[in-house]
Structure 1
């Protein structure tokens, strides 16, 4: 329950100290300020010894915090998570092999369109599900290459486990983990290419993506030449071998060293509070507050109906009840927008509307950089704003 009587028309007492609930770019870590960023590398070439050292340090810290196996490679890629996963798809998917792309929200559907319309893969299985649901992943043949999104950024539905991927399976797995990694444990033994953006759980800037490759993924890249043209930003080979420099801080194009320093600061903060386990615990605690509140609020339900599939990062909720159901589709779509606008004007909470392609909804980011107390303070304000909207 929240801190005031449900339905009361008076404004709640307390406001969040940090009203940042966007699902990307997300809240900066507690205590963040510009003076926490090292600036020695700014104005220097990213190819200088100092520049390469800082990029390599970001890679090494990422490996340490995420527990990535020593024989996996980690590279900094252009164009955020989108650039990283599309580079993996363009470089690794083979028209001669069977491929499955599984999607249950907006970004996964983009990867389906890449496979269908851009790569035009002939041996393609497409698995989709409505927002809040996950398709039956056990129907994917183990010989298939598979592209999937670990956590539905725009639907709040995540995979609860990787039991549907057999150890030593023939196909490769390409995993878009951007709104899961650092908040949910990755099963590295079953992942061949994993991608994410700095802007999600770590709350850093959106400029760059990360690409993590298993030895199996490296073997695929080195043994396969795609039939389609590869833009420079997707080219990871020199001759017939993987360009290992990319995975040691020698980026394909010029990176933002300021964004790099911001990511490093976030990683160092995470290490200082206990590392990956602490990050997961913080996201779990934040999201449980929201899930319990949704369960106790009769006019809301979690967009993901199965508790085992409910995310601990971008928790999505939709409206229900006689009053809401009586509205036209246009008026239903206006409800979350009015609530968000009302609270943004009061500096209570920013950017927690549902994704534009999702059903009318609210989406509260509960990742590791958000404080529990701020989540607790936001919820009574949403109740207050809902009553205002409902009663005109």
Structure 2
């Protein structure tokens, strides 16, 4: 029997969303003076606008790009872009993980369009050379559920005619995003900075704003996705006005996260923290014979939502149901000890492990977690052998 490690992570939260709060976070430190005020009160609108200004300050998109909030987290932000912008020209959807496949299905079944699908198996990336600059393209920058990311933006043409609609929810604040290549960029509070769920952010290039100003889809757009009015892009949204009632406490939590990000050193420091966490986990993976990265190619491996697969023959020989049961046991062992929480993969992903390594995670906690992963594996595989013998 493998002995239990002596130390536990100080902050054992490795969920891919909502992710761990920033180090030192305390609910009691959030301002509450605007609680109970109306969402249209000038002071509340200004607070939401302040959150947008801070977001811009940390991410540094071009000055002529605009930002706005959407309901429904990153999902709502992506859907708002799809419903309000697509249909003017042909569409391609890059689908190599769960959410790319979701956008593909929505474009086809709900919008009634005929998108071209560029797909790849879990852990792989489609052939990006097939992206047509004359078409709109929808894609995740980082596949939260597959641990795969696009390596760069070189495959996006500078003289493109179509729009690039990028789901960047598990990449923003953790990876460099080439803003000149991105026309619509979406993310949520709940991912890289550990904010509360329910609110999405959309960053629009001048080309995207021009599409909203000139194109009117022939479909009815639900109110919570409606970022354009009869005259075009609803510019009040870029000033902190929101489409429906948002939680004031949620925006205060977001502002708290952004203030922390600035104090840490801004985007370069956030990326450095993420890279250090990934490097610590990668070092353990490389020296451990029963686990491997789900993506074989190092250049497309995510540094935030790190997805791993079992390569031990005793586990790999199990059918899918058996492997999922093994993951459940693995999770139960770890969480029963309070050592590592929420390390299971997305429900639609292959059985394995997934650990969030974004900037709100401490590298020391990644290092301390790995002996617990080893203990859980050896314990679970030992139980598997006993079951087979019995």
TM-score normalised to structure 2 length: 0.97
Q: 1:118 — aligned with what? A: 110
Deviations 1:260-308 (A, max 9, x none): 0000000000100101111000000001111121111111110111100
Q: 2:251 — aligned with what? A: 260
Q: 1:161 — aligned with what? A: 152
Q: Distance in 2 between matches of 1:155 and 1:68?
A: 27
Mapped pair 1:242 → 2:230: no
Deviation (angstroms), 1:239: 2.1
Classify the secondary structure of the residue corresponding to 1:68.
Answer: coil
Q: Distance in 1 between matches of 2:309 and 2:50?
A: 42
Q: 2:130 — aligned with what? A: 139
Q: 2:212 — aligned with what? A: 221
Query: Equivalent of 1:26, from 19, 38, 50?
Result: 19
Classify the secondary structure of the residue corresponding to 1:391.
Answer: helix
Deviation (angstroms), 1:36: 2.0
Deviation (angstroms), 1:332: 1.8
Q: Distance in 1 between matches of 2:17 and 2:31?
A: 24
Deviation (angstroms), 1:52: 0.8
Deviation (angstroms), 1:316: 0.5
Classify the secondary structure of the residue corresponding to 1:50.
Answer: helix
Query: Equivalent of 1:337, from 328, 331, 334?
Result: 328
Q: Distance in 2 between matches of 1:127 and 1:98?
A: 14
Mapped pair 1:67 → 2:57: no
Query: Equivalent of 1:12, from 5, 9, 13?
Result: 5
Deviations 1:119-163 (A, max 9, x none): 1213x2101111111100111111010000000000000011011
Q: 1:291 — aligned with what? A: 282
Q: 2:178 — aligned with what? A: 187
Deviation (angstroms), 1:327: 2.6
Q: 2:386 — aligned with what? A: none
Deviation (angstroms), 1:48: 1.1
Q: Distance in 1 between matches of 2:295 and 2:159?
A: 31
Q: 1:275 — aligned with what? A: 266
Deviation (angstroms), 1:166: 1.0
Deviation (angstroms), 1:328: 3.5
Q: 2:89 — aligned with what? A: 97
Q: Distance in 2 between matches of 1:244 and 1:130?
A: 40
Which ranges of structure 2 fall in alignment gaps of 5 or more residues? Answer: 384-390
TM-score normalised to structure 1 length: 0.96
Q: Distance in 2 between matches of 1:132 and 1:192?
A: 26
Mapped pair 1:348 → 2:335: no
Q: 1:128 — aligned with what? A: 119
Provide runs of 4+ in structure 1 moved above 4 Å.
Answer: none
Mapped pair 1:365 → 2:356: yes
Q: 1:319 — aligned with what? A: 310
Q: Distance in 2 between matches of 1:147 and 1:216?
A: 15
Which ranges of structure 1 fall in alignment gaps of 5 or more residues? Answer: 1-7
Deviations 1:50-103 (A, max 9, x none): 101110000000001001111111001111001111000111111x51110001
**Equivalent residues in 2 for 1:194-205, closer than 5 Å:** 194-205=185-196
Query: Equivalent of 2:140, from 130, 149, 159?
Result: 149
Q: 2:28 — aligned with what? A: 35
Aligned length: 383
Q: Distance in 2 between matches of 1:330 and 1:77?
A: 38
Q: Distance in 2 between matches of 1:50 and 1:218?
A: 27
Q: Distance in 2 between matches of 1:108 and 1:134?
A: 12
Classify the secondary structure of the residue corresponding to 2:143.
Answer: coil
Q: 2:75 — aligned with what? A: 82
Q: 2:100 — aligned with what? A: 108
Q: Distance in 2 between matches of 1:382 and 1:190?
A: 39
Q: CA RMSD in A?
A: 1.0
